[in-house]
Structure 1
């Protein structure tokens, strides 16, 4: 397969799957397996950066409002992509909880790195993670729906929700196929933010500093160890642009979708993909 076309394909896969609850890391590892090639760490950093850029643009007003409120400046009410207004005081509180979630992720994430954890290079454990994650999503959605029916729709993010979301990001990073967005959204729903839109927004926004930090950490590590090397810059550029454009469209679509639908179809897709991989792959794959 042509290198540029393969890069375009991987950029599209990253853009679609990074923020949908289906696991981007899992899909990229599966794609690389079937393409018969392994891409550099810098390539993976670039396509992830494209997806981060897209969601940052979508939430730019919300982020700017939080930044001004956090710095103590007077600012007009900011709006999230769904049109919900937040006062400066609410934005400041949201920013502190965002930082708390990020701090938990950073602390435990660095601990995992120090312990020498590495991503698996076979598809079978990812297939099982897709299946188990699908079952978790279906059960969690039912439990969250019951809680919402009992307690009403809650859009606020508590400190408990923030800390658990931070921990969920670490778990998702350790087990490819789990999906960072799925883990964080459903943890938020079960911990008390019963609004799907609010839970999804917090999961997406907390992913911005988390993914920027992880990307920066990996990039500095590559530069320190001379890992940039002989990179195919054309392929990297194609993949970055594809990831950014597709992620922008995917996130916009998901934010509209969740206003009227549950996550059931994503769980069914994960289950079907995981089962298909287990049936078709050789035992050692």
Structure 2
């Protein structure tokens, strides 16, 4: 149970930071023992529950604002982004993709992602602050989420945030908001699909549901704290500190594992 709680803690703290929650889970499981894909996906839903609570007023505003052209346009773009993620995600699943069992690809993705963050931040620094969410941006964020799932260590939130920034949404809090809001249906849907898939295969009985529930609750609690902190941080800072952390961690992993 202690190991499950620790994994939930790691998931909650890292899901919304651009440092890859899946990558950190795989690294932790190198020492704590391998968990099922269902476990790794469902505890992410706990963190997404946290962001749902953080953005509850914004979600109500979008859900009840269909008569407002601005709110309707934003909601439709979120829906389009999710649709892209869902379709491409199902294609990846049909192809039989599985999370890697070694740390090396995670370490490489951490380093490459860190370098990419530094380059994007350097580019964004020269741009005017923009808050517009375009259709091209919405599609790109959907694709980026799937790519992050294929390459653990990339970070879903990082991929979504920096895809948004590259496509013109250079206001960091606004880019983070879009990335976090699209993460809500994405991760809940991923959890549901994985659970149903395992149910059809008759594998639910083998899952330690008590540990999974405890880890999910821990993920929700720590995720709430993490996302509140990050939103305050990006209001006045860039993401370079996370790039440095990713590169340092990736180098350490390659050197010692």
- For Structure 1 versus Structure 2, the TM-score category normalised by the shorter chain is over 0.9
Instruction: Report the equivalent of 1:54.
Output: 50
1:100, distance to aligned residue in structure 2 (A): 0.8
Instruction: Report the equivalent of 1:191.
Output: 167
Question: Residues 132, 45 of structure 1: CA spacing in aligned structure 2 closer, same or farther, 3 A cutoff?
Answer: closer
Deviations 1:52-93 (A, max 9, x none): 1101111111112211224x5xxxxxxxxxxxxxxx322111
Higher helix share: 2
CA contact (8 A) 1:46 1:239 kept: no
What is the correspondence of 1:49-128 to structure 2 with a 5 Å cutoff?
49-70=45-66, 72=67, 88-128=68-108
1:41, distance to aligned residue in structure 2 (A): 3.4
1:265, distance to aligned residue in structure 2 (A): 0.6
Instruction: Report the equivalent of 1:269.
Output: 245
Q: Which has the higher relative contact order, 1 or 2, with Cα contacts under 8 A spaced 6 or more apart? A: 2
Distance 1:277 1:29 in 2: 12
Gaps of 5+ in 1: 73-87
Distance 1:16 1:102 in 2: 24
Distance 1:211 1:68 in 2: 23
Question: Residues 114, 42 of structure 1: CA spacing in aligned structure 2 closer, same or farther, 3 A cutoff?
Answer: closer
Q: Give the structure-2-normalised TM-score.
A: 0.96
Gaps of 5+ in 2: none
1:232, distance to aligned residue in structure 2 (A): 2.8
1:107, distance to aligned residue in structure 2 (A): 1.4
Distance 1:221 1:41 in 2: 11
1:233, distance to aligned residue in structure 2 (A): 3.2
CA contact (8 A) 2:38 2:191 kept: no
Over the aligned positions, Cα root-mean-square deviation in angstroms equals: 1.2
Instruction: Report the equivalent of 1:9.
Output: 6
Distance 1:118 1:194 in 2: 33
CA contact (8 A) 1:26 1:177 kept: yes
Question: Residues 236, 128 of structure 1: CA spacing in aligned structure 2 closer, same or farther, 3 A cutoff?
Answer: same
What is the correspondence of 1:25-40 to structure 2 with a 5 Å cutoff?
25-35=22-32, 37-40=33-36
Would you identify which runs of 4 or more consecutive aligned residues in structure 1 move more than 6 Å? none
225, 231, 234: which one pairs with 2:210? 234
1:234, distance to aligned residue in structure 2 (A): 3.0
1:44, distance to aligned residue in structure 2 (A): 2.2
How many residues align structurally? Answer: 257
SS at match of 1:241: helix
1:194, distance to aligned residue in structure 2 (A): 1.3
Instruction: Report the equivalent of 1:217.
Output: 193
Distance 1:236 1:211 in 2: 16
